[in-house]
Amino acid sequence: MFSLLLLIAVPYLFYSINSLKILRSPPNPSPLPLSLPVTLPVHLNVSTSEPLLENPKTLHENTTLHHIVFGIGASSKLWDHRKNYIKLWWRPDEMRGIVWLDEHVKKDPDDDNLLPPIMISSNTSDFPYKNPKGHRSAIRISRIISETLKLGMKDVRWFVMGDDDTVFVADNLVRVLSKYDHNQYYYIGSSSESHLQNIYFSYGMAYGGGGFAISYPLAKELARMQDRCIKRYPELYGSDDRIQACMAELGVPLTREPGFHQYDVYGNLYGLLAAHPIAPLVSLHHLDLVEPIFPDMDRIQSLQKLKVPMQLDSAGLMQQSICYDQSRQWTISVSWGYTVQIFRGIIPPREIEKPARTFLNWYPKAGYKAFAFNTRSLSKNSCQRPSIYCLADAVYTGNNKMAQLACMLARTFLIQIVSGRFPIPLRSLKWRFIRGLIPIFGIRLQEETVAES
């Protein structure tokens, strides 16, 4: 028995001693081969010759509109009409950007101080395009970020892409981008409201009509490889999917921000706007395809009206608050700067926060099951539908204190919404106000009815 134990122990002892020698001795690796046997994506072209970090002094500077450059894709055929959307949000003294057109247009001297400079996109006839349902202008639009970068503007942190019918809430855009380190690779935007659109294109794609943002270092990498990249995808439909294809090659995923809105819907946006998610409203798109957001107005007038509460408290714009009147058995939903709904009965927040289907899917025959989010139907019983009041005016009272008065219905059908602008950093506000502490503003509202699409 002893001999058997000795026979087992001796080899183990020698093995342990040898292992200790290996651990204690300095490494002496063999020289690396000139060509490493590592498989990389064939077309990956990420340069590491330049550091991502800026001068440390700039790391703590707040992001402002000055650090953002807009690239706006536009069509010469639609320019006379679509330029009016840009005028609504463009601030000539604070913003930088370029409108990229396919052809020269006749300029109106009155527009010089109201719109970004206009440039003509480069010729893209050498790029293959083989999608039978699309238009090759998608190639031109997909190169807007790269062409804007090559203009050499200084002190740029973000490039933001949008269409000529995109309306940005500029201050909220700054708030959203300020959450991210602009020295790193970021591709920020949102997907479509249509599940089928996201399936046909990609859930990982930012839709350009709703707008998306690309950090400066990522834009530089994109510009280096984009022309080669898009030549590899002649079968793609649009500009957005070409951008996403190049982002996939660069290994950069989409960072989702729900405030960017493509609005791939038809009909009335009321249900979506009245139940806006807990996020800053950054953009609106497809405004020519939906009804005006306020009654008895055209589209431009409606958006001009929305600018009043936007200028008072853009951070709270469209934010939904839910409160209850126990004595009257009312459920009250307030979308700041837009609308108030009063429901009979006590309805749980999880139902009220779902958008009411006042709109149709991008593919109308697909029905409500083809939305990329939960919705609720409007009752066919008029007694069970909410009383709806739309914004008539918004006035700042000069009082920043919090108030607990949420909603008050007067005999004259005036509703006063009382709220305070919150000093809490926006990134920490990830909850909805229940029983309403909503901004110290007085809002006059007008009664309105909304039909289900």
Tens-digit pLDDT profile for residues 418-445: 444 544 343 334 444 444 333 333 344 4
Q: In this structure, are residues 183 and 53 in contact, taking their beta carbons and an 8 Å threshold?
A: yes
Give the helix ranges, DSSP H, for 90-169. Answer: 137-142, 144-149
Tokens, residue 202? 């990609």
Q: What is the mean pLDDT of the chain?
A: 81
Q: What is the pLDDT at residue 110?
A: 86
Query: In terms of residues, how long is the chain?
Result: 453
Q: Is the pLDDT of residue 12 over 60?
A: no
**Cross-strand partners of 69:** 96, 159
Q: Binning pLDDT at 50, 70 and 90, where does residue 446 land? A: very low
**350-367 residue pLDDT tens:** 999 999 999 999 998 888
| DSSP strand pairing (68-73 vs 96-101) | parallel
CA distance 223 to 249: 13
What predicted TM-score, i.e. pTM, was given to this entire model? 0.79
Give the helix ranges, DSSP H, for 164-268. Answer: 170-177, 195-200, 216-231, 239-250
> For 259-288, b where at least 16 C-beta lie within 10 A, e where not — what string?
bbbbbbbbbbbbbbbbbbbebbbbbbbbbe
Q: What is the pLDDT at residue 79?
A: 97
DSSP 315: G
The one-letter amino acid at 377: S
| DSSP strand pairing (433-434 vs 320-325) | parallel
Neighbours of 101 (CB within 10 A): 20
> For 119-144, b where at least 16 C-beta lie within 10 A, e where not — what string?
eebeebeebebeeeebeebbbbbbbb
CA distance 428 to 439: 17
Burial (Cβ within 10 Å: 0-12, 13-18, ≥19) of residue 433: buried
DSSP 171: H
User: What are the structural domains of the chain?
Assistant: 56-256 (3.90.550.50), 296-448 (no CATH)
Q: Is the pLDDT of residue 395 over 80?
A: no
CA distance 412 to 426: 36
Q: What is the pLDDT at residue 392?
A: 82
Tokens, residue 368? 């409500």
Least confidently predicted of 7-16, 136-145, 228-237: 7-16
In 3-state terms the chain splits into helix, strand, coil percentages (rounded to 5) of 30, 20, 50
Q: What is the DSSP string of 130-151?
A: --TTS-THHHHHHTHHHHHHTT
Q: Is the pLDDT of residue 243 over 80?
A: yes
Q: What is the pLDDT at residue 382?
A: 78
CA distance 342 to 288: 29
CA distance 442 to 182: 38
Rg (CA), the chain: 28
**Dihedrals φ, ψ of 157, to 5°?**
-110, -35
